[in-house]
Structure 1
Amino acid sequence: MTAAGVTYAITQACSMGQLLQCTCDSSTPRHAPPDHPGEWQWGGCGDNIDFGYTKSKEFMDVKDKRKSDLKTLVNMHNNQAGRLSVKNFMRTECKCHGLSGSCTLKTCWRKMPIFREVGNLLKEKFNGAARVMAGNDGLSLIPAEGKTIKPPQEMDLIYSESSPDFCEAEKNTGSLGTHGRECNHTSIDVGGCDLLCCGRGYQKFQQTVRRNCKCRFHWCCEVECEICRSIETVYKCI
């Protein structure tokens, strides 16, 4: 995520004219803009993703290049996946020209994806991350689960060590366990009762909640609130 963020920030700074080393993307893509029929031409201020990608790689990977241990290989692979999550999903934006917005001609340029979309993509990759180990040459990565699993692709996220078990309290890892944790009984995500309770089940409780309400501002300068009570249903891990 950090590598993607650095790529995004540098590329955006180029387009906004905040860096002396770069400007808008001056290259002309060979392919036509998808979903934009009619007369068009490349122009505008395209995002200089190649510059952002290169500088992010120099910044994020410079310390790790001196090492060849498994952790470094995993970090560099995931950095690359983060950068590609921006570079490989560039989109086309166009502006219409013509009398009364007739759009007889379009000027199109390349734009980065919305960063939230980048985050969503990496979150999906994180949920499907693959465990790897170092190859015999010490420079490659191979699946740790067996030869039948395909090697990780450039945009796959990977890890080398399984996460500790946080279901039970463990002083060495600082885990407090999940007994008594409040959970969402309708969610299938990590905050859902099925996952958070580690299969132990959960219980339903009624509890009284106190909140500030009917707040009023008095000149000057004080806010007075009443205390409202309500009964809410919560679910907690066994």
Structure 2
Amino acid sequence: MRLGIVVLCLLLFFTHPLCTTGLWWAVGNTLTFDQNRICRKAKRLSGKQQDLCKKEPEIIEAALLGSKEHGLGECRHQMKLRKWNCTTKSLGRVLLQDTRETAFANAITSAGVTFQITSACSAGSLLQCGCDNSSNSIIQQTKNATWLWGGCGDNVHFGYIKSIEFIDTQEKRRSDIKSLITQHNNEAGRLAVKLHMRKECKCHGLSGTCTLKTCWKRMPNFRDVGNRLKELFNGAIKVTGANNGKTLLPINPTIKAPTVTDLVYSVESPNFCEPDRKVGSIGTAGRVCNSTSEGVEGCQIMCCNRGFTDEIMNRTYHCRCRFKWCCVVECDICTKNVTISRCNGYS
């Protein structure tokens, strides 16, 4: 799974053995954002990726930043309470499989690339694009309001296209089920951004009467993108390849075929309870759990019935804050005991 290896290499700064083969923008064993160094390897590439290296290296820089800052950061946030928590130590083997964890990592990283390139357009950081003004000057009217499309809308279409060129070009040359699943989940990640643009407006008129509004489209908050993909992760569909080599079909015939926005997988996940290098599990010994919850973050599930131990720790915090004229807020420093539960080790 090429994008999975991309995620791993960004985290490990290309020091993992998987990162030295097959990853077209790795430079030896070192992560660099120097586009000239990265694209020296472009001589053996063809098509869109070669064009990006030769003509648009700043797109690659934005894509790498989106993979690392948005994709991987959000992956860790969304999975922090699960047995697999998107940790660096587990990504390598996990992402070589077709599990639902792989599906989520591919989708959230693809979304991160789309988000960052689009953001760079709006910020004026890329010469190839700017604000989306395709709808400017179009007047829309509803029962209660009238608005004029204008302002600096986010050019998500550009970010979407460049994400495809950056991520999917190599996968599109193959037709095995791994590539089909990877492309499907990459697309689901991009659509989690593109299909959920929101409207922002500014009022015009005397004394703020808002008789006319100028509106533009903004991308959703990336936390909302992560939340949406996490829900799709929970409802991911197990699939197999159809005879035509182009379609994914659910294993369970009673389940509807996956839509373009669903996440899909073909291999059941390991339980991640104990260390197993073959599947990328580092186990859950020492993980923090919630002793009062019966959910996935609860100690019974997180600790895999091995039990847990409570630790009492002192925490400091600001308390008894008061405002002093003018203009300072003064606070005392207080301490309190906090109980933290951690999973026991292995017998």
Shared fold by TM > 0.5?
A: yes
The answer on 1:69 being equivalent to 2:185 is no
Matched length:
220
Q: CA deviation at 1:172?
A: 3.8
Q: Which residue of 1 aligns with 2:203?
A: 96
Q: Which runs of 5+ in 2 are unaligned?
A: 1-107, 318-334
Contact 2:139 2:148 in 1 (8 A): no
The answer on 1:18 being equivalent to 2:125 is yes
26, 39, 57: which one aligns with 2:164: 57
Contact 1:91 1:110 in 2 (8 A): yes
Q: Which residue of 2 aligns with 1:85?
A: 192
Q: CA deviation at 1:183?
A: 2.2
CA distance in 1, matches of 2:278, 2:130: 50
CA distance in 2, matches of 1:229, 1:41: 54
Q: CA deviation at 1:186?
A: 2.4
Q: CA deviation at 1:178?
A: 4.1
CA distance in 1, matches of 2:190, 2:172: 17
Q: Give the secondary-structure state (helix, strand or coil) at the position aligned to 1:63.
A: helix
CA distance in 1, matches of 2:283, 2:151: 54
CA distance in 2, matches of 1:206, 1:3: 39
Question: Percent identity among equivalent residues?
Answer: 52
The answer on 1:202 being equivalent to 2:307 is yes
Q: CA deviation at 1:137?
A: 1.4
CA distance in 2, matches of 1:97, 1:3: 38
TM-score normalized with structure 1 length = 0.79
Q: Give the secondary-structure state (helix, strand or coil) at the position aligned to 2:175.
A: coil
- The 5 A counterparts of 1:1-238 are 1-28=108-135, 32=140, 37-144=144-251, 146-170=252-276, 172-173=278-279, 175=281, 177-178=283-284, 182-198=288-304, 200=305, 202=307, 205-207=309-311, 209=313, 232=339, 234=341, 236=343
After superposition, what is the alpha-carbon deviation per residue over 1:69-92, rounded to whole angstroms, capped at 9, x for unaligned?
111111100010001001110111
Q: Which runs of 5+ in 1 are unaligned?
A: 214-227
Higher strand share: 1
Amino acid at match of 1:153: T
Q: Which residue of 2 aligns with 1:218?
A: none
Q: Which has more radius of gyration? A: 1
CA distance in 2, matches of 1:14, 1:161: 38
Contact 1:208 1:229 in 2 (8 A): no
RMSD value over aligned CA atoms?
A: 3.0
Distance 1:96 1:171, change over 3 A: closer
Q: CA deviation at 1:191?
A: 2.3
